[in-house]
Amino acid sequence: MLHSRPVASIDESNGYEKIAADYIARRGSKSGGIGARVVADWSQQLPAGGSILDVGCGNGIPISEVLIERGFQVYGVDASQAMVEGFRARFPGVPVQCSSVDDSDFFGRSFDAVVAWGVVFLLAEDAQRRLLAKIGGVLRSGGLLLFTAPRQRCSWSDAMTGERSVSLGDEEYQRVLESAGLVVTGTESDEGENHYYLARMD
Ligand SMILES: C[S@@+](CC[C@H](N)C(=O)[O-])C[C@H]1O[C@@H](n2cnc3c(N)ncnc32)[C@H](O)[C@@H]1O
């Protein structure tokens, strides 16, 4: 007799589904947290009411929140069900998809901007390259990208999940962005020592 076994589900959130409640209690419950000011300032260059994809949006606080408050059309994607439920509860009516970046059909749309705060370096190296290439595919001409990643090539254990994070390093990020059709317009660090890349679609 054949017994069917439940298929173990793969965690595409890189450990964040398990710690979502804690993450939301710490970062996702305070408006204006680290990154909010940088993203708000960056968004001033965008057309009024423009569309922005928030990759790895979490529950939307504080990054999506500052953009929604400024009248942008935000689309969120996150692989953690608990994070997405939190997003829906906080921002009813704002489109958000529970999906890995690899599978999200939001990458079939086009956007004026993409923001990816605290997520790119959670992905495996090849997945990061794929994601940045896909971002190049959704940005309109003149569209903007902001994402965080350490400047130096390095790997470390994520403080909350214990999972491996990796930065491809400045040289490789610049190379990957260029081959995706993006021009790097700046790199900076914020008050929380998050290093971020600013790029524009040619
Ligand atoms: C450090 S949190 C950042 C959340 C939010 N951007 C912020 O600034 O608070 C990383 C988020 O990326 C999501 N994530 C991780 N891997 C992902 C993947 N492969 N596809 C989509 N989302 C992913 C996690 O579920 C988590 O919500």
pLDDT in tens, 95-142: 999 999 999 999 999 999 999 999 999 999 999 999 999 999 999 999
176 CB near ligand 1 (under 6 Å):
no
**Strand segments (E) across the chain:** 51-55, 73-78, 96-98, 111-116, 139-148, 154-157, 164-167, 182-189, 195-201
- Would you say residue 57 lies in a domain? yes
Q: Determine whether 177 is exposed, middle or buried from the number of CB atoms within 10 Å of its CB (0-12, 13-18, 19+).
A: buried
Total domain count for the chain? 1
Confidence bin at 158 (pLDDT 50/70/90): very high
pTM value is 0.95
- Would you say residue 7 lies in a domain? no
53 CB near ligand 1 (under 6 Å):
no
Q: How many Å from the N-terminal Cα to the C-terminal Cα in the chain?
A: 61
142 Cβ contact partners less than 8 Å away, ≥ 6 residues apart: 200, 201
Residue 90: the pLDDT is 98
pLDDT in tens, 59-95: 999 999 999 999 999 999 999 999 999 999 999 999 9
- Would you say residue 144 lies in a domain? yes
- Would you say residue 129 lies in a domain? yes
Confidence bin at 192 (pLDDT 50/70/90): confident
Residue 186 · residue 173 · CB < 8 Å: no
- Would you say residue 27 lies in a domain? yes
- Euclidean distance between CA atoms 64 and 73, whole angstroms: 10
- Euclidean distance between CA atoms 69 and 75, whole angstroms: 14
78 CB near ligand 1 (under 6 Å):
yes
- Would you say residue 103 lies in a domain? yes
Residue closest via CA to ligand 1's atom 19 equals: 100
65 CB near ligand 1 (under 6 Å):
no
- Would you say residue 24 lies in a domain? yes
The domain containing residue 46 runs over which residues?
20-201
- Would you say residue 15 lies in a domain? no
Residue 8: the pLDDT is 52
Q: What atom in ligand 1 is closest to the CA of residue 117?
A: 6
- Euclidean distance between CA atoms 25 and 7, whole angstroms: 31
Which token pair is 100?
């890995």
Q: How high does pLDDT run on average in the chain?
A: 95
User: Taking residues 9-35, what's their average pLDDT?
Assistant: 95
CATH of the domain at 81: 3.40.50.150
Three-state DSSP class for 76? strand
Q: 16 CA distance to ligand 1 centroid (A)?
A: 7
Residue 201: the pLDDT is 96
| Closest among 98, 106, 117 to 9, alpha carbons compared | 98
Pocket of ligand 1, candidates 11, 16, 18, 128: which has the most ligand atoms within 8 Å of its Cβ, to mutate?
Answer: 16
Pocket of ligand 1, candidates 119, 156, 161, 165: which has the most ligand atoms within 8 Å of its Cβ, to mutate?
Answer: 119
- Higher per-residue confidence, 8 vs 174: 174
Residue 194: the pLDDT is 86
Confidence bin at 193 (pLDDT 50/70/90): confident
